[in-house]
Amino acid sequence: MLLTSEARGVYPIAPTPFFDDGSIDMASIDRMTDFYVGIGSTGITILGQLGEAPKLEHAESVAIAQQVVRRAGNLPVVVGVTAPGFAAMRALTRAVMDAGAAGVMIAPPNTLRTDDQIVNYFKQAAEAIGADVPFVLQDYPLTFSVQMTAGVIRRIVTEIASCVMLKHEDWPGLEKISTLRGFERDGSMRHIAILCGNGGLFLDYEMERGADGANTGYCFADMLCDVVRLSAAGKRDEAHDLFDVHLPLLRYEQQPGVGLAVRKYVMMRRGILTSAAQRTPVAAMSKTAQAEVDYLLKRLARHDARARL
Amino acid sequence: MLLTSEARGVYPIAPTPFFDDGSIDMASIDRMTDFYVGIGSTGITILGQLGEAPKLEHAESVAIAQQVVRRAGNLPVVVGVTAPGFAAMRALTRAVMDAGAAGVMIAPPNTLRTDDQIVNYFKQAAEAIGADVPFVLQDYPLTFSVQMTAGVIRRIVTEIASCVMLKHEDWPGLEKISTLRGFERDGSMRHIAILCGNGGLFLDYEMERGADGANTGYCFADMLCDVVRLSAAGKRDEAHDLFDVHLPLLRYEQQPGVGLAVRKYVMMRRGILTSAAQRTPVAAMSKTAQAEVDYLLKRLARHDARARL
Amino acid sequence: MLLTSEARGVYPIAPTPFFDDGSIDMASIDRMTDFYVGIGSTGITILGQLGEAPKLEHAESVAIAQQVVRRAGNLPVVVGVTAPGFAAMRALTRAVMDAGAAGVMIAPPNTLRTDDQIVNYFKQAAEAIGADVPFVLQDYPLTFSVQMTAGVIRRIVTEIASCVMLKHEDWPGLEKISTLRGFERDGSMRHIAILCGNGGLFLDYEMERGADGANTGYCFADMLCDVVRLSAAGKRDEAHDLFDVHLPLLRYEQQPGVGLAVRKYVMMRRGILTSAAQRTPVAAMSKTAQAEVDYLLKRLARHDARARL
Amino acid sequence: MLLTSEARGVYPIAPTPFFDDGSIDMASIDRMTDFYVGIGSTGITILGQLGEAPKLEHAESVAIAQQVVRRAGNLPVVVGVTAPGFAAMRALTRAVMDAGAAGVMIAPPNTLRTDDQIVNYFKQAAEAIGADVPFVLQDYPLTFSVQMTAGVIRRIVTEIASCVMLKHEDWPGLEKISTLRGFERDGSMRHIAILCGNGGLFLDYEMERGADGANTGYCFADMLCDVVRLSAAGKRDEAHDLFDVHLPLLRYEQQPGVGLAVRKYVMMRRGILTSAAQRTPVAAMSKTAQAEVDYLLKRLARHDARARL
């Protein structure tokens, strides 16, 4: 079952679970996958920016993809295949699609500048992986330093049929969603799925602007599912009430570098991961930071029972 | 009265009030200054990044500084003098110091890369403006693309006597505050004031890490004053409770580009500014965005009476 | 007499002559202007990137422009007005146009990324300085980090009537000239003057691609005039023969940073400038570098008598 | 035989020969290797920036390394192993060292900014590939956007024993060589080999500043060998005479993007490569550019018989 532009809901960005010695923790992968399925995720994205993909050898990446795909059952699995060259990108894409992935995700190299360079890059990438492989366009200028206007995204969507989803994480980004949905309404762009990343920092208003859901890795993915559901059901105040009680922690987790440590630590405390270990290079969390996260959890627990750990 | 390293509390970053036709609104400047004085600010910073400084001619900048200094009474006024060359920086510094400013603020040009380039730039800048003029070092990599380690800041503080304050807005930045305070404790760096910017997004935890206050322009500067006061008084939970109810709006205002429009709009609704106008180039707020801000204010008003507008 | 799109020949980029104490050397300005007139320049560009413009106060810039305009007689003088904000850009433009300048030159701020950002910036700049002021578009990605495709330049030329000349210094840039001239031939872009910078490193082939001349500051501007003349006259081998004997020194001078020191040193040795002094910050030339330049001049003198100093 | 800090002479940067259909051309690899051996190279560097390394799958890279090592006989072969993560870097390093490579070359990721980030990156990389593997530090800010001061290089050399060679291609870079050799003389840094890249654009003066040779891919690697030999023998004028006649073509080849097409085209015309083909993405050479190269070769042939093709 391939990814289509009708995707919606929450595709959590999964971390890659390691044991303390750096080896891959397949049991935690299973537990995490079960967790994502259980909370009502509509898909799972693995080996993204925060999945420590560059720290994995090719065979390891493939093995992880196989494990998640098997465990996720009917849930579509998207695999990050961003690479410095098309050879590695194609090789990984083939392997994971053979393993049953629903599609892949591609981020642009941070050397792209002009509109044409960006469009051409994705055309070449789409050709390299094969026109039959649906892909997610990752638009994260804060991390990748590539700025795509709504017009450039329209060109990509128009010129490349296999682009089916936007991982929207521009910042600020609310007007971009409105503009893209406007393109659809005025007939100048076909519909694509828009799922939002950037740690979820604006998910509350992104949904109201027309996003289809979330595609990010906040440690309470269950909250993301709830907010998307409430928002889609038109329960505006309830959606914001829930989102707002998570915002202090969510904002804390969304810090570059240390954010992954926070995410893995909370997922460990929630019993999803056995260890919060990362592979080198590690952006570690200080004891003070850990105490701050504990305090944030304690405060959150007053409003959301899932934080009573 | 010159700025010293003992500065603390809140130095709001003041916007520059314009009428709709782009002329400077001196009455709003007075009202805004009175507001800042009234809420317990300990200083005021004008003509910063969000004060639209590059849109002002030299004579206008000087006139604004004179007005604020006169109106602020005993409150120290810091003036942003960032410029592409030392000639303009020196000329503005002399004029505003003559007008009674307490010090100036300098941001690094975004072409600096190596540690030595950064340190040398500030040495040359300090020499250009005069060794007797105290200055605030602005550390905002997200906007200026210059990354200063804590070690580089220590070198600047050690080698340049006139550096008395850090406008801390690195992101993530909590560990940096801890490291700098550690340098002071281990005797490797003299004490400097650390006031925090970055829209206030981490002010709650920055205070606990050892910051002396806030130096940012959130539209509820009174909340910043309260949080700094509560935190300094050891009332941790109260500080966080107040901060958290503002976080949804604060996060919304902290968006690059549109953030200034939000700030001016709310300050207009609060009766501080006559108009929310900006000079060209303007990052305007859409009607949808305005409605979102109104909704954020309505939600905030449930917890903070000052938002009942 | 205003600058038009029919400009051609050589507009040397003039350095700003200082005495050793940093004061402006008006006598050298006159001598340099006379030199440029004498060698057959068709215009002069002052206060560019290598004219140390950011190190000058507004009044100094205006005084220099007045002096050069007076001395240059009928020769059109273009003035660099690049600034971090439109207020300063407009103020300098008005002053130098009042003084008789033929037009101004504008480089983009290094924060521009997308095609639309670039086009919009120049539209706003053109509006700020006034639609009646002809301007030169500076395209120097190596220094300004802004990448404009030929398509973006076409949009600027099409949407802004006052853009009359391109200071072409993209690298590599030969195909860009061919593409732009192709746009003119296929009727999709009106004609503009293309004069080449980048130290002259590709002037030999740029002329053959359709450039109208040179707009750079190589210390032997007389050679630039000769090469442009020979090339325009179809004397291909002679043009290359002359260019090639200068290439070792030209390449040496084109180094970022130290290049200006080399340029001023040779112009001092040629008797054009009284001093090679720069204002702070200075990228100085070591004694070894000076000896290398002396050796390069000695070698050049075997083929070009003008280098016998 | 492992690479040591006593390396000197010329290590040509080898292109990767492809057939027109994109498959690897092993016969050309052999011919090219024989050519490099025959002209007096002292080593060979493969899979560098211009070796199209990111376009190769892991197994292809290993196969190419094996082929070159076998064919090069006693000549040390250095293999570029730059990768976005340490997992791929380690995997390729192990494979090529097992195949008999003398060492590897590592370029920094373009996200590094501060001195500490740079030093830490190379410490982690050295640890990842193994402390027993000698590596070449590639310092090419123009391409990689990472600026390493001489002081940072000294820290790397001092803190990482396996760093034995610098591929020096900073621009401007002459003073950097002088500074590094000064560090060796004043005892603050152990000796390392310095071989120069950047297309050879300053090889003439780099040798006089203390470089040990060249590590670049100019299409007349035989000229590089001659210049290094003449310069090392103190024949200054002869070295410059030979270098200068090549400078027009060398400068043309050193253009980013199209440079590789020029290099492969000339090497094809010289009978070293069967095809000038590149893998996607290709920076192709226009017909006009090809005619320019032919003209450059014709002009060069007047002075250097090797260009009579």
Q: What is the pLDDT of residues D168-199, one digit of tens each?
A: 999 999 999 999 999 999 999 999 999 999 99
Please check whether residue B167 is in contact with residue B105, taking contact to mean a CB–CB distance below 8 angstroms: yes
Which among B175, B257, B288 is the nearest to A178, CB-wise?
Answer: B288
* Region A236-243 average pLDDT: 98
Please check whether residue C64 is in contact with residue C47, taking contact to mean a CB–CB distance below 8 angstroms: yes
Sorted by sequence, the CB contacts under 8 Å of residue D273 that are 6+ apart come out as: D15, D17, D25, D28, D31, D32, D264, D267
Neighbours of chain D (3+ CB pairs under 8 A): A, B, C
Shortest Cα distance, chain A CAs vs residue D294, angstroms: 29
| Chain segment C221-268, per-residue pLDDT in tens | 999 999 999 999 999 999 999 999 999 999 999 999 999 999 999 999
Confidence check: pLDDT of C22 > 90 = yes
Q: What radius of gyration do chain B's Cα atoms show?
A: 18
Shortest Cα distance, chain A CAs vs residue D167, angstroms: 22
Confidence check: pLDDT of C49 > 90 = no
pLDDT at residue D49, rounded to an integer: 86
| Chain segment D200-259, per-residue pLDDT in tens | 999 999 999 999 999 999 999 999 999 999 999 999 999 999 999 999 999 999 999 999
Chain B and chain D share a number of CB contacts under 8 A equal to 22
Confidence check: pLDDT of A1 > 90 = no
| Chain segment D73-108, per-residue pLDDT in tens | 999 999 999 998 999 999 999 999 999 999 999 999
What number of other Cβ atoms are within 10 A of residue C294's Cβ? 14
For CA atoms B144, B146, B149, B152, the dihedral sign is negative
Chain A contacts of D57, Cβ < 8 Å? 87-88, 91
Chain C residues contacting D via beta carbons under 8 Å:
171-172, 174-175, 178, 201-202, 204-205, 208-209, 240, 243-244, 247-248, 251-252, 255-259, 286, 288-289, 292, 299
φ, ψ for residue B136, nearest 5 deg: -100, 130
Neighbours of chain A (3+ CB pairs under 8 A): B, C, D
pLDDT at residue D283, rounded to an integer: 85
ipTM associated with this complex:
0.97
Chain B contacts of D115, Cβ < 8 Å? 114-115, 149
Indicate the average pLDDT of chain A.
Answer: 97
Chain A contacts of D281, Cβ < 8 Å? 86, 120-121, 124
Query: Quick one: what percent of chain A has pLDDT higher than 90?
Result: 97
Chain D contacts of C240, Cβ < 8 Å? 248, 299
Confidence check: pLDDT of B113 > 90 = yes
Chain C and chain D share a number of CB contacts under 8 A equal to 66
DSSP character string of C155-220: HHHHH-TTEEEEEE--SS-HHHHHHHHHHHHTTSS---EEEE-GGGTTHHHHHHHT--EE----S-
| Chain segment D51-77, per-residue pLDDT in tens | 999 999 999 999 999 999 999 999 999
pLDDT at residue D75, rounded to an integer: 98
Comparing alpha-carbon positions, the chain A residue that sits nearest to C118 is: A114
Chain B contacts of A171, Cβ < 8 Å? 255-256
Best mutation target among C142, C179, C201 (most D Cβ atoms within 10 Å) is C201
Is C60 close to B85, i.e. CB distance below 8 A?
no
pLDDT at residue C53, rounded to an integer: 95
Indicate the average pLDDT of chain B.
Answer: 97
Confidence check: pLDDT of C123 > 90 = yes
A265/A293 Cα distance (integer angstroms): 9
**Residue D58: both structure tokens together:** 């892991």
pLDDT at residue C1, rounded to an integer: 87
Shortest Cα distance, chain D CAs vs residue C1, angstroms: 37
Taking every pair of C-alpha atoms in chain B, what is the biggest distance, in angstroms? 54
Best mutation target among D55, D60, D120 (most A Cβ atoms within 10 Å) is D55
Confidence check: pLDDT of B27 > 90 = yes
Is B84 close to C85, i.e. CB distance below 8 A?
no
pLDDT at residue C51, rounded to an integer: 96
Chain A residues contacting B via beta carbons under 8 Å:
171-172, 174-175, 178, 201-202, 204-205, 208-209, 240, 243-244, 247-248, 251-252, 255-259, 286, 288-289, 292, 299
Map residue B296 onto helix, strand or coil.
helix
Q: Render the burial of D152-173: b for 16+ CB within 10 Å, e for the rest.
A: bbbbbbeebebbbbbbbbbbbb
pLDDT at residue D1, rounded to an integer: 87
**C-beta contacts of C117-125 below 8 A and 24+ residues apart:** C117/A147, C118/C146, C118/C148, C118/C152, C118/C156, C119/C152, C119/C155, C119/C156, C119/C159, C120/B281, C121/B281, C122/C156, C122/C160, C122/C163, C123/C159, C123/C160, C124/B280, C124/B281, C124/C86, C125/C86, C125/C89
C-alpha distances (whole Å) from D7 to each of A147, D135, D186, D222 are: 43, 12, 21, 18
pLDDT at residue C283, rounded to an integer: 85
pLDDT at residue B231, rounded to an integer: 98
Label each residue of A187-229 as H, E or C.
CCCCCCEEEECHHHCCHHHHHHHCCCEECCCCCCHHHHHHHHH
pLDDT at residue B283, rounded to an integer: 85
Chain A contacts of B259, Cβ < 8 Å? 172
Q: In what order do the strands lie in the sheet with B193-196?
A: B9-10, B213-214, B193-196, B163-168, B135-139, B103-106, B77-80, B44-46
| Chain segment B127-156, per-residue pLDDT in tens | 999 999 999 999 999 999 999 999 999 999
* Region B59-84 average pLDDT: 97
Which among C172, C209, C248 is the nearest to D244, CB-wise?
Answer: C248
* Region C136-145 average pLDDT: 95
Comparing alpha-carbon positions, the chain D residue that sits nearest to C257 is: D172
Shortest Cα distance, chain D CAs vs residue C31, angstroms: 31
